[in-house]
């Protein structure tokens, strides 16, 4: 039985679960900031969210995965996966967790984020669940707010464009 492969797969799965919990938290906070990237960035800066424990733990796990110990021993990777799983479970059952309102904008933003993750991770995942694939998921979990801001910006481009077209049509009708 190849324990190393099993631990690498579990690290990818647990990293994806942590990414999903981080994205849920970030999406709720983005919605509280009226889906404004500028207000969300101000909130990130004011709340010190960028260096909170839930962002530092995946970064520390990422550094630990880069060590020679993780490359030589499957037990180190298993311990890292357990730590990230504990983070994801803690975030899942946190009493502070607010419900995500699934507005059309939120759904489109989440779809774009998942498409970005799939596009970026496709080359790593086709290379047979290596340690690098798990490290990539930890990196994305650490910087999930960057993915969300990018996807929200893309959604904003299309919604402003449609909003401007609607305004110009209404102005033409008034004349």
Record the pTM.
0.79
39 three-state secondary structure: helix
Instruction: Please state, as a whole number, how many other Cβ atoms lie within 10 Å of the Cβ of residue 14.
Output: 25
Q: What is the pLDDT of residues 63-104, one digit of tens each?
A: 888 888 787 888 888 888 888 888 888 888 876 666 777 888
Q: What is the pLDDT of residues 136-162, one digit of tens each?
A: 888 888 888 888 999 999 888 887 655
103 three-state secondary structure: coil
Show the tokens assigned to 147: 């993915």
Q: Which residues have a Cβ under 8 Å from the Cβ of 142 and sit 6 or more positions away?
A: 55, 58, 59, 62
């Amino acid at each position: 039985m190849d324990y190393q492969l099993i631990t690498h797969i579990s690290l990818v799965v647990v990293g994806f679960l942590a990414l999903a919990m981080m994205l849920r938290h970030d999406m709720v906070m983005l919605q509280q900031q009226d889906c404004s990237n500028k207000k969300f960035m101000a909130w990130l800066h004011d709340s010190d969210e960028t260096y909170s424990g839930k962002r530092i733990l995946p970064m520390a796990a990422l550094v630990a995965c880069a060590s020679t110990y993780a490359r030589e021993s499957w037990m180190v990777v298993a311990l890292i996966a357990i730590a990230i799983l504990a983070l994801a479970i803690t975030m899942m059952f946190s009493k502070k967790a607010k419900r995500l309102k699934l507005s059309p904008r939120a759904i489109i933003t989440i779809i774009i984020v998942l498409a970005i993750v799939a596009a970026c991770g496709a080359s790593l995942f086709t290379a047979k669940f290596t340690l690098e694939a798990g490290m990539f998921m930890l990196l994305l979990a650490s910087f999930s707010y960057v993915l969300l801001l990018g996807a929200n910006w893309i959604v904003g481009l299309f919604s402003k464009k449609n909003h401007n077209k609607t305004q110009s049509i209404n102005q033409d009708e008034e004349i």
